[in-house]
Amino acid sequence: MTVSCRQPGVVLTDRFFTVPLDHDDPAGETIELYAREVVASDKAGQDLPWLVYLQGGPGFGANRFIGKQAWLGRALQDYRVLLLDQRGTGRSTPANRQTLPLRGGPAEQADYLTLFRADSIVRDCEAIRPEVTGGAPWTVLGQSFGGFCTVHYLSTHPEGLAAALITGGLPSLDAHADDVYRAAYPRIERKVAAHYARYPQDVDRVRRIADHLLTHDVVLPNGYRLTVEAFQSLGIMLGNGDGSHRLHFLLEHAFVRTPRGPELSDAFQEQVQGLLSYAAHPLYALLHEAIYAQDDRPTAWSAERVRARFPQFDAAKALAGDSPVLFTGESVHPWTFDCDPALRPLRETAELLAARTDWRPLYDRARLAANEVPVAAAVYHDDMYVDTAHALDTARAIRGLRTWVTDEFEHDGVRAGGPRVLDRLLALVRDEV
């Protein structure tokens, strides 16, 4: 049954689709996809072109906008929009600690999860596109990992695309995960230095918290074990435009006096567990390094191995001297699955994915070099999550791609400055600028 409702200025319609779990076995097992169709109220009866939105991640459902928030209002001027919950996320058939045991043990779960990367997501899009558009090509907007999916789309099914818009999501076409993290840690260090320059009082606050965590066993109310490494991973916030400010406000009430001495405050612990828990998006942790894998080399916990080459991120060593304790960023480690109660049952599955060596290639350089789809990409000048040099190398490899390189926004530019970002990209693909 189709269900529609209204919000200020928009009409929302629930859409459900059945697709093969494995597109190479179309007669086999199926899963369900959910998407939310959005159209401006005053255009609800019009025959409009379609724009499908691919969320960042991996492992996040599409944004739940209210009305015409962020970039959506600009898109609705020209398009009917499909907000797709990628397989395994949102209201699509879920993949998490509760459902994955239905597949069997860790080996079966790992095999299952190999079908949740960009290649399967793009084939999902092509499977549902005829039903949505009547067969007409649509425009795709890919944010972050959604941009990775978009580049795969251009590599494999360009006939399905009228245009492609990418925000903070041009992947390296051939870098191993090790290359990604070797480039990432120096960027993270720059972001942390900028945060401490803005809020120098946080240097001592962070050292105090880190020292407390090294000398106390702290378990958050939801069962999350807050180690110093887990605390450092809050640096992921520094990749967003307001992240430095939010991190500062979090740190300023970390401790409270108690009869037993200083302890981490309930308010601090409550906020931290919400920021660190993967309960709502476990695929992010399970597949984060796998999104880079496309050869016979295992990812083998790349972020953890590469971090060892950057001793300045060792909190204990920083505390032994007078160096600031550095935050880390967008990375997943073996200890992530020990700390988080939502991930602990999946630790062996994660190990098998990290050891896997039969990953399919994701990008086709020859097809990208011959691309005829209008493509525009916003490249954020010092994006914490996606290396700018890697992004620009890929931009040069895609025929006709036009870039907008800006330092006005961080990785969340399409949220923070959505109407202007989308307007710029649309102007580029339409040759209006």
Residue with tokens 């204990």: 316
Cα separation, 304 vs 192, whole angstroms: 19
- Angle at Cα 350 formed by Cα 345 and Cα 352, nearest 5°? 120
Given this model, what pLDDT does residue 102 score? 97
Residue 139 sits in the same domain as residue 25: yes
Identify the band that residue 401 occupies on the pLDDT scale cut at 50, 70 and 90.
Answer: very high
Q: Please, which residues bridge with residue 166 across strands? A: 142, 377
Residue 209 in this model has a pLDDT that exceeds 70: yes
Find out whether 377 and 391 touch, Cβ atoms under 8 Å. Answer: yes
Distance CA 158, CA 318 (A): 50
Residues 401 and 332 in one domain: no
Residue 127 burial (C-beta neighbours within 10 Å; 0-12, 13-18, 19+): middle
Q: Band of the pLDDT at 183, cuts 50, 70, 90?
A: very high
48 and 125 fall within a common domain:
yes
pLDDT of residue 164: 98
Q: Does 74 lie in the same domain as 38?
A: yes
d(Cα 356, Cα 210) in Å, to the nearest integer? 34
Question: Residue 358: how many CB atoms within 10 A of its CB?
Answer: 9
What confidence tens digit (pLDDT) does each residue in 42-64 have? 999 999 999 999 999 999 999 99
Q: Quick one: DSSP state of residue 268?
A: H
Give the integer Cα–Cα distance in Å for 264 and 219. 11
Please tell me whether residues 182 and 329 are part of one structural domain. Answer: yes
Residue 144 designated active-site: yes
pLDDT band at 295 (very low <50, low <70, confident <90, very high): confident
Section 86-93 average pLDDT: 98
CA-wise closest residue to 139 among 428, 368, 374: 374
Q: Do 399 and 376 lie in a common domain?
A: yes
Which of 333, 355, 377 is where one domain is finished?
A: 355
Arithmetic mean of pLDDT, 202-224:
97
- Same structural domain, 8 and 148: yes
Could you write out the DSSP letters of every residue in 185-224?
A: HHHHHHHHHHHHHH-THHHHHHHHHHHHHHHS--B-TTS-
Q: Of 92, 144, 233, 302, which residue is the catalytic one?
A: 144
**393 and 339 part of one domain:** no
The number of distinct structural domains making up the chain is 2
Instruction: Supply the Cα-derived Rg of the chain in whole angstroms.
Output: 22
Strand partners, 141: 53, 165
The C-alpha atoms of residue 182 and residue 413 are separated, in whole angstroms, by 24
Q: What percent of the chain has pLDDT over 70?
A: 100
Q: Of the residues 308, 339, 355, which one is the last residue of a structural domain? A: 355
Take residue 229 and report the two structure tokens written for it.
Answer: 């490494």
What are 53's strand-pairing partners?
A: 83, 141
CA angle at residue 94 from 90 to 96, to 5 degrees?
110
At 38, the pLDDT band (50, 70, 90 cuts) reads very high
| Residues 290, 238 within the same domain | yes
Q: Edge-to-edge, what's the strand order for the sheet holding 402-406?
A: 4-7, 10-20, 30-40, 80-85, 50-54, 138-143, 161-167, 375-380, 402-406
Q: CB 273: neighbour CB atoms within 10 A?
A: 19
Report which DSSP code applies to 157.
Answer: -
- Does residue 378 share a domain with residue 292? no
Q: For residue 418, name the pLDDT band (cuts at 50, 70, 90).
A: confident
Active-site residue flag, 358: yes
Known active-site residue 195: no
Q: Which domain holds residue 198?
A: 177-355
- pLDDT for position 86: 98
Report residue 354 as tokens.
Answer: 């990290």
CATH number at residue 76: 3.40.50.1820
Does residue 330 sit in the same domain as residue 376? no
Assign 3-state DSSP to the chain and report helix, strand, coil percentages, each to 5.
Answer: 45, 15, 40
Catalytic residue among 85, 155, 411, 412: 411
Query: What 3-state class would DSSP assign to 335?
Result: helix
Domain boundary at 305, 329, 355, which? Answer: 355
- Whether 403 and 378 share a structural domain: yes
The neighbouring-strand residues paired with 332 are none
Is the pLDDT at 1 greater than 70? The verdict is no
Q: How far is CA 75 from CA 78, 81, 93, 165, in A?
A: 6, 7, 27, 11
Which residues, at least 6 apart from 373, have a Cβ–Cβ distance to it below 8 Å? 154, 158, 161, 162, 163, 164, 400
Tens of pLDDT, residue by residue over 299-308, are 999 999 999 9
pLDDT reading at 180 higher than 80:
yes
Question: Which segments of 327-417 does DSSP mark as H helices, in order?
Answer: 334-339, 347-355, 365-369, 388-397, 413-416
pTM of the model: 0.96
